[in-house]
Amino acid sequence: MGYIEEKVSPGLWALAWRRLKSDRTAMVAMVIVGLYFLILAASATGLIASDWDAEVGVNYAPPSFIGAQAGGVSATAEEAPPPENPLDPLKDIIRELRGGANAAPVDMYGVTDPLEKEMSEIRAQLGNTAAKAAERKATLPFGADKWGHDVIKKTIKGAETSIIVGVVAAFLATLLGTVLGALSGYYGGWVDDVLNWFYNIFTSVPYLLLILAVAAVLQQKGVTTIVLILALTGWTGTYRLIRAEYLKHKSREYVWAADAIGASDWRKMFNHIFPNVSHVALVQISILVVAFIKSEVILSFLGFGVPVGVVSWGSMLNEAQNELILGKWWQLTAATVAMAVLVTAFSMFTDALRDALDPKLK
Amino acid sequence: MNANPLLQVRNLRVSFKTDKKHSVEAVKNVSFDIPRNATVALVGESGSGKSVSSLATMGLLPPETAIVDPGSRIEFEGRNLLDLSADARRALCGKEISMIFQEPMTSLNPVFTVGYQLCEVLMLHMGMSGKEARSRAIELLREVGIPEPERKIDAYPSQMSGGQQQRVMIAMAIACEPKLLIADEPTTALDVTIQKQILDLIADLQKRHQMSVLFITHDLALVGEIADHVIVMRNGEVREAGEVRQIFEAPRDAYTKALLRCRPTIDSRPLRLPVIDDYMNGHVEPPATHQQRSRGLTGREDIVLEVRNLGKSFYSREGLFGKKEFKAVKDVSFKLARGKTLGVVGESGSGKTTVGLTLLRLHKATQGQALFEGKDILSMSDKEFMDYKRRIQIIFQNPYASLNPRFTIGQILMEPMRIHHIGANDDERAGMAHQLLKRVGLPPVSFGRYPHEFSGGQRQRIAIARCLTLKPEVLVCDESVSALDVSVQAQVLNLLQELQEEYGMSYIFISHDLAVVKYISDQVMVMHNGEVVEMANSDELYRDPKHSYTRTLLGAIPKAIFP
């Protein structure tokens, strides 16, 4: 564009960034959120926690970070054969069977086993597994779950699902709410009426019931389904706010001026009005991310969430409800702390962002 | 002045914090007196510090940002108001000093009846019982000229007109028989005829109650009739203070002279309006400000736009299916000559703005035609009208609202060119935008700036430049100079005048200010309640108004004593 960029004054975003930078709480919150996203990126690309489903610890290995020692249960103790019962009439046979691995490949009838080779392979494999089982750690820094998965890795992998669900669903819901709100507020008339009916239907049905209905229609479990459920039910708040903003802005003189110079409806809606209401959409996105991370947890907790084999904070909490009875609190703690820190940091960041983006330019 | 003044302001300094480190001094060492039983006018343009001075007197400055210099003194009957405790000051301020504001619509609480709000003041400060307060409130409403006060006392603010609301505000202000009444731009939001009534009322009350009035306004001409003393402020300093006759007849300060001269008047139409700069730097007045311009139509001009029987109704929903019609514009017809200006005057609700918006199809006309070179632009399709959008443009009233705050000036100016494919590429368009910026008197760095970095007058220049990108033949100016300070208004009017000569544009100049309309127009159309009541060449209309409404309007123009 040639010589037009002689000196461009800081725009809204530059000013907002300046204000945000001077807010210490916001910066701390932003660093924390940034850290989560870094971990998320590393986990998504397989750099860390890709082996989260490896059974590295014993079942319910307690966390060692608080100094917990290996409890009564240990892998070797479980694997050790029970002592021989002298009264057992089958004790000879049992002894023979136990000693089978080392016995000669000739059975009691003196016939050579034709499957000897295969059997020894199988035995070797079994021996390996046993050896592996013996290698399982009795304790892990943050403990292990029912299958011996490392809880910290599981939490990281769970963060991947939860945050992606939260962010993508929030983005979709805000997009939906913004476009519908813009149409409704800008055009008014029957467009507004129809969209308002939709809005009223969506808000009049209890939230959980609506989620169950959408889940029933979609008929399959998976991350995509959760994202769709959340997006399809979560656009209403954004819709209402954006609609109100468009109602207000469409009769502003700058929009009339745009009309007078011949700008099309589309241009007025998205080139002229949208930059003036974008702060609303942005704040909505960040509020929804928090809400949707929590919703995903509730959905997974209720069993409408991620399928078996995929881990999320919600599925971790779901498992934890049974574990808690056994006194295995570490999985619950890990998922809760991870979520609480992110949600708090994100909320604080959102608040600061809203202040920084105050629509009053200066 | 009086040896024992009611209020003495000495060395008042007020600054405002802009952020943690910086502050701006809004009032710089201001001193003035308000004698007993007199009206003092504090005159200045925006940013002069006049309102800040009055708010400091009332103790209404925001405590978080405003810093009053410890050396400042505001003495009311010998007591320094700045030393009083918050409680003592509040007791004094409701009772002995009271204030009325610019916007009566926002100063009254909409959810309480006016009677309730009046009685509250009386019971609080005068210790009256509910019954006494009510009868006193009715008396007060009668005194400020509210018809049927017994009935109106139970009305809500929204059930009253703007003028009546301001009367209620005045009733509240005088309820406790204050010794000093501060009126901060009390008539600016009101129509000319209402403004006149309110001014008369304040002058009358001042005499009857023997109180002092501090009248704050941006319009020097307004105070000629009611003030005894005038204080002229600029940029936080007092430029000149003196008796009203002296200020008007022998102003000493260059700024006062400029203020008096740069406002267009009914009886003179110089080729060019004098502006502040002509006076401030000791310049001699340019000869163009003394030569008179003759205006008017001969009847042989080329007609560019002819409007026939234009009508516009608004409908409000009533009940489930009912509609209520409100006719904003009724049967308006006029012809606009090429290169000439048609002034449209009227009070709020007269339909003058609606006429302008309908011509640009920003409102859909209910009936009538607008023939642009013989083609009806109101009935053509949107697609056909696109070509005409280039030829008819509009400048709005509020320069703060008519520019998109998220666009740079460059984007604002280049957008119309892009839409209408003017210029081969963005480089060429940017070049044209720079030329236009220069033409309307803005520096080239404006190109990359955002609207909020400009003052009202500069923004209006940007709005004008945006219209010029399309080289329109007809320009509708909807109250385009009404929101501007008097000195800036003169500059913008001069610019519009020059551009008309340069590009041969025709203007439809809509305004409530009769002096401005007289200055810029060849022909004037007077509107009242959606109808045209009178239309004539401007000189003729002002010399010999035929319609009684026109005469009322002309009679309401403040008649300052001019040198």
The average confidence (pLDDT) of chain B is 87
Q: Do B406 and A260 touch (CB under 8 A)?
A: no
- pLDDT band at residue A97 under the 50/70/90 scheme: low
**Lowest-confidence pick of A72-81, A265-274, A325-334, B256-265:** A72-81
Q: What is the dihedral of CA A188, A190, A192, A195, to 10 degrees?
A: -160
The H or E element spanning position A244 is helix A236-250
CA A245 to chain centre: 32
pLDDT in tens, A279-304: 888 888 888 988 888 888 788 777 77
Instruction: Report the b/e string of A118-150 with b at 16+ CB within 10 A.
Output: eeeeeeeeeeeeeeeeeebbbbbebbbbeebbb
Domains of chain A: 10-52+150-356 (1.10.3720.10), 75-135 (no CATH)
- Residue B411 is part of a domain; what is its CATH number? 3.40.50.300
3-state SS, residue B144: coil
Between CA A257 and CA B416 the distance in angstroms is 10
pLDDT in tens, A38-83: 988 888 887 777 777 777 777 777 777 665 554 444 444 444 555 6
pLDDT in tens, B57-107: 888 888 888 888 888 889 888 888 888 888 888 888 878 898 888 777 778
pLDDT, position A5:
43
The average confidence (pLDDT) of chain A is 78
Q: Do A260 and B362 touch (CB under 8 A)?
A: yes
Is residue B169 one of the residues assigned to a domain?
Answer: no
B404, closest residue in chain A (CA to CA): A254
The partner residues of B292 in beta bridges, in order of sequence, read B270
Is residue B503 one of the residues assigned to a domain?
Answer: yes
Among B404, B406, B419, beta carbon nearest to A262:
B419
Is residue B150 one of the residues assigned to a domain?
Answer: no
Residues of B at the A interface (Cβ-Cβ below 8 Å)? 357, 360, 362, 386, 389-390, 393-394, 396-398, 401-408, 410, 415-416, 419-420, 426-427, 430, 444-445, 447-450, 452-453, 463, 466, 470
Distance of residue B447 Cα from the nearest chain A Cα, in angstroms: 7
Among A8, A267, A276, beta carbon nearest to B408:
A8
Between CA A69 and CA A63 the distance in angstroms is 8
Distance of residue A2 Cα from the nearest chain B Cα, in angstroms: 6
Distance of residue B17 Cα from the nearest chain A Cα, in angstroms: 13
**Lowest-confidence pick of A243-257, B267-281, B440-454:** B267-281
- Cβ-Cβ contacts under 8 Å, A361 against chain B: 405, 450, 452
Which of B314, B415, B455 would you mutate first to test chain A, the one with the most A CBs within 10 A?
Answer: B415
Domain that holds residue B464: 338-366+377-555
pLDDT in tens, B380-424: 998 889 888 889 999 988 887 889 888 889 999 999 999 999 888
Q: How many CB pairs under 8 A join A and B?
A: 93
Between CA A47 and CA B339 the distance in angstroms is 74
Per-position DSSP letters for A156-199, written without gaps between them: HHHHHHHHHHHHHHHHHHHHHHHHHHHHHHHH-HHHHHHHHHHH
* Stronger pLDDT, B332 or A113, i.e. the higher one: B332
Distance of residue B402 Cα from the nearest chain A Cα, in angstroms: 4
Between CA B541 and CA B230 the distance in angstroms is 33
Helices (H) and strands (E) in chain B, counts: 21, 21
Is residue B210 one of the residues assigned to a domain?
Answer: no
Is residue B493 one of the residues assigned to a domain?
Answer: yes
Among B419, B427, B453, beta carbon nearest to A9:
B453
Please count the structural domains in chain B: 1
A258, closest residue in chain B (CA to CA): B416
Q: Do B405 and A262 touch (CB under 8 A)?
A: no
The partner residues of B310 in beta bridges, in order of sequence, read B332
Is residue B486 one of the residues assigned to a domain?
Answer: yes
- Cβ-Cβ contacts under 8 Å, A4 against chain B: 410, 426, 430, 447-448
Distance of residue A193 Cα from the nearest chain B Cα, in angstroms: 14
Distance of residue A353 Cα from the nearest chain B Cα, in angstroms: 18
pLDDT, position B282:
66
Q: Do B404 and A276 touch (CB under 8 A)?
A: yes
Distance between start and end Cα atoms, chain B: 24
Q: Does A270 touch chain B (CB under 8 A)?
A: no
- Tokens found for residue A71: 């409890």
- pLDDT band at residue A102 under the 50/70/90 scheme: low
Is the distance from CB of A277 to CB of A254 less than 8 angstroms?
Answer: no
pLDDT, position B3:
59
* Stronger pLDDT, B255 or B317, i.e. the higher one: B255
Is residue B308 one of the residues assigned to a domain?
Answer: no
* pLDDT above 90 for A224: no
Q: Do B448 and A3 touch (CB under 8 A)?
A: no
Average pLDDT over residues B14-27: 82
Which of A6, A18, A254 would you mutate first to test chain B, the one with the most B CBs within 10 A?
Answer: A254
- pLDDT band at residue B466 under the 50/70/90 scheme: very high
- Cβ-Cβ contacts under 8 Å, B450 against chain A: 9, 11, 361
* pLDDT above 70 for B455: yes
* Stronger pLDDT, A121 or B385, i.e. the higher one: B385
Which of B315, B403, B406, B435 would you mutate first to test chain A, the one with the most A CBs within 10 A?
Answer: B406
Is residue B469 one of the residues assigned to a domain?
Answer: yes
- Cβ-Cβ contacts under 8 Å, A259 against chain B: 360, 362
